[in-house]
Amino acid sequence: MSGIQVKLYQTDNGPCPYRDDKTWHNLSFQTSELPPDGYTSLLNQGFRRSGLSIYHPVCSDCQACIPIRVDVQNFSQNKGQRRTWRKNKDVRVEHHPLEFNQQDFELYQRYQKDWHKLETPVDETEYYEFLIESPVTTEILRYYSADKLIGVGWIDRLAELISSVYFVFDPQFVSKRLGVFSLLYEIEYARFLDIRWLYLGYWVENSPKMNYKADFQPAQILRDSRWIPFKAQQK
């Protein structure tokens, strides 16, 4: 990443969303440009991206956030995933370049309010900085049932990998398990592109919010700077 100057800083993000009685701290830097090989290297060191911020958890006395990636080419749907895939056979997915879209923003607001019970409405600036600013190639995937927008996903697309950034859905369609379906679709998209790895961010053991990631097998987790089979670490 020659020619790019970064300033590392530590952030205090308040209570941990995955572990009770824990606080969430990141080591971060911001950049408006990031070469694909540099981003790949950072992902393989356990970093993630949020807008123009590249971050890595550095919480004291806790290493629960474990990077995980799915072996797309060898992935096989389990029974529940096959059922979810069939349930969404009516869903149409459109691919778009990264852009601000009012419908996307309104669905994001509704998702945060109704699903995550956020009391203060998300403003446009916060949304833009989180999901519209990106130093790498990012695609927006829009999920439609008939002509109704029911889900929006953001993925970073590199030559050798896809990194799943974020997904929101219309809470009225919770029965369709769109979060699971979006990952199944991203896996099929990666296969279409002949890409092997889909990066899912962090997996946290015994966290109800993260349990679904363990269902996408075979997968690898990052331990001591090495990618190792995920199954070997499960109890």
* 107 DSSP assignment: H
pLDDT of residue 1 exceeding 70, the answer is no
Using pLDDT thresholds of 50, 70 and 90, give the confidence band for residue 16.
Answer: low
Using pLDDT thresholds of 50, 70 and 90, give the confidence band for residue 23.
Answer: low
pLDDT of residue 205: 83
Where along the chain do its domains lie? 9-65, 68-233
3-state class of 11 per DSSP? strand
Q: Which fold has domain 68-233?
A: Aminopeptidase (3.40.630)
Using pLDDT thresholds of 50, 70 and 90, give the confidence band for residue 112.
Answer: very high
Per-residue model confidence as pLDDT tens digits over 166-180: 999 999 999 999 999
Using pLDDT thresholds of 50, 70 and 90, give the confidence band for residue 118.
Answer: confident
pLDDT of residue 42: 95
Query: In sequence order, what are the residues at sequence separation of 6 or more whose Cβ sits closer than 8 angstroms to the Cβ of residue 201?
Result: 48, 67, 68, 163, 164
Using pLDDT thresholds of 50, 70 and 90, give the confidence band for residue 19.
Answer: low
Instruction: Tell which residue, 156, 170, 196, 201, has the closest CA to residue 91.
Output: 170
Secondary structure of 111-150 in HEC code, one letter for each residue: HHHHCCCCCCCCCHHHHHHHHHCCCCCEEEEEEEECCEEE
Residue 30 exposed, middle or buried by CB count within 10 Å (0-12, 13-18, 19+)? middle
pTM: predicted TM-score of the whole model, two decimal places: 0.91
CA distance 88 to 66: 30
Say which range, 16-20, 27-31, 66-70, 115-119, has the weakest mean pLDDT: 16-20
